[in-house]
Amino acid sequence: GETYDARMEIPDWSKAGTPAGLWKKVAVLDTFHVRLVAQQDPPIRVSELITPVSIAEPKKGIYVFDFGQNMVGWARLSVQAPAGTVIEMRFAELLHDDGTVAQENLRQAKATDRYICKGQGTETWEPMFTYHGFRYVQVTGLKEEPTKETLTGIVIHSSAPFRGKFECSDTLLNQIWKNITWGQRGNMMSVPTDCPQRDERLGWMGDAQIFAPTAFYNMNMNRFFVKWLRDIADCQDTSGYVYDVNPAIVVGGPAKPGWGDAVVVVPYVTYLFTGDRSILEENYDAMKKWIHYMDTKAKNHLYEFGDGDWGGYGDWVAVVPSPTKPTGGLYYYYSTKLLSEIAGIIGKKEDSVALAGHLPLIAQAYNAKYFYPDSGHYVANTQSMNLLPVAFGLAPENLRAELIKKVAENVVQRDTHLTTGFMGTAYLLPLLSDYGYHDLAWKVATQTTYPSWGYMVKKGATTIWELWNSDTERPEGMNSRNHFAYGSVGEWYYCYLAGIQPDITQPGFKRIIFYPRPVGNLTYASADLLTGYGQATIAWKKIGNQLQIEIQIPANTSGIVRIPFEKGKNTEIAESGKLIWKDGKRVKSSKGLTFVKQENNYIEFEAGAGKYHFLVQ
């Protein structure tokens, strides 16, 4: 926090004639060992002002302002009081039962600002050297009853522009999406922090890599991640390992599996969403060094790392814990696979071939130890341990459908609940949807009992929690109410509900895949995305037995359009009033559309830039 004594202000300090003796002399350094560069990422700016929704007085002279939203920034104070009056503001995400602020989950962070009045009419002040994560502000020292004008919430974050929006007919999902965006904006503070309120605020790599696709849908993260990846490379050890947090100011190396791999995953995701090869070229050496480090530590192609929470994080804070050691082999395979692809993209063909040749050996070593053929599942048989080998392509292709079936059965056995942690959650719903369990994915997404995103909302959350059970876990310690990692589900909203995603063969949305998948009682969904080429939009609506789909493809791009249909039904498709599909075959061509193929549950067209209006019945 910050303490400011307004009585010590120097009148007219910036005007000529003010005595120079009032200022302390600066210290001059003889040597300077760092290189000064211009700021490389979007500056942190004020983005919004929030008025309190209510003011309570739980105890005499103690006022608690509720801003109605867990936010990041500070409070602007406007007050009249005699000189020497100390106004204290304490910030918190939660309240005690007696209505006062609860700061136990902030650990050592004081989260307190103090303003000492100078006694000259209405005084307006806000801090310059701190920020807080909070919904509530407790104020003491006021000489009169406050109004909603006494405090104004100042929202700040890195000014990467918002570019994506999701909306649907389900109010719960809309609130979850809103919570995801608030969690993102509050933790994008020049580095992707884990949380904004307690004594941490660190650039944890695992959180960032698992959330990166969702982050790119919501905001233009290119410059933000370019800068942060330079932080990672700057801190990389000479042996090749990177650190769990970057800048690496705490937590020793090497980074744990899933955390260190951000050095490979984040450049790849950035390329996918921007099409900018330079991000791959600039970070290639750092990526290669990390893979080489794992190569040197692997035994017979099996990379394992530690036991227990701090030996290896594993599927962090999962409802049903998975063993931590297998995570090493999973991410060793995944990062090697991505780097092989990256090497091919930037023309390093020998590296690409060599890395690809190593993949079967890694997979064979991992599967030999951790796959149980008699029971047909991976070690521990948890949702995450069966999900991740499929997600990363390590599981043999002929086993993948059966593995996801086991995941689906486990979800059903748990009354439609997930058990995944940070690493597994991002892949659960996409894989369920891809392998024929889209309805089940929908039920998990809209679940409102513990553990679920809906449970957070039902408990009053306005951001995403660190723990699925943050409301019942001990109030002190590791229990943030603003942690973006579980917000990785946002990617599923855009890709699988609205139906818009980039195409890795033509990245940066040079070619866009549109594939809406109506499900459950959802009657409409839409996504707007400002790409580097212009606005891309998809919106669909169900009216009776009709499905209306509107698509906008930006200039100088193309689209793959997949129209869903139910197998065995006589589906008709019209575009802009012209019938183009009937009785299982094309009827007429439509301007800009080229038929590609028919699959079990969709018909695929290639589309040029423009607007399209489909009617499916």
User: Which residues are annotated as catalytic?
Assistant: 200, 466
Return the SS3 of 128.
coil
- Cα–Cα distance list, 105 to 503, 533, 568 (Å): 42, 44, 55
Confirm if 426 and 489 have CB atoms less than 8 A apart.
yes
- Cα–Cα distance list, 549 to 8, 19, 332, 371 (Å): 64, 71, 41, 43
**Cβ atoms within 10 A of the Cβ of 98, count?**
9
- Cα–Cα distance list, 268 to 73, 120, 161 (Å): 31, 56, 21
Residue 408 is classified by DSSP as H
SS (H, E, C) 572-600: CEEECCEEEEECCEECCCCCCEEEEEECC
- ∠ CA 329-330-333, rounded to 5°: 85
- Alpha-carbon distance of 236 to 231, in angstroms, equals 9
**Cβ atoms within 10 A of the Cβ of 32, count?**
7
Confirm if 158 and 224 have CB atoms less than 8 A apart.
yes
Helix (H) or strand (E) holding 88: strand 86-92
* Token pair of 273 as six digits: 């969403």
**Cβ atoms within 10 A of the Cβ of 555, count?**
9
Confirm if 447 and 454 have CB atoms less than 8 A apart.
yes
Return left, alpha or beta for 317; rule: phi > 0 is left, psi -120 to 50 is alpha, else beta.
left
CA-nearest of 470, 450, 451 to 462 is 470
Exposure letters 494-533 (e unless 16+ CB within 10 A, then b): bbbbbbbbbbeeebbbbbbbbbbbbbeebebbbbbbbbbb
Return left, alpha or beta for 394; rule: phi > 0 is left, psi -120 to 50 is alpha, else beta.
alpha
- ∠ CA 258-305-356, rounded to 5°: 60
Confirm if 550 and 538 have CB atoms less than 8 A apart.
yes
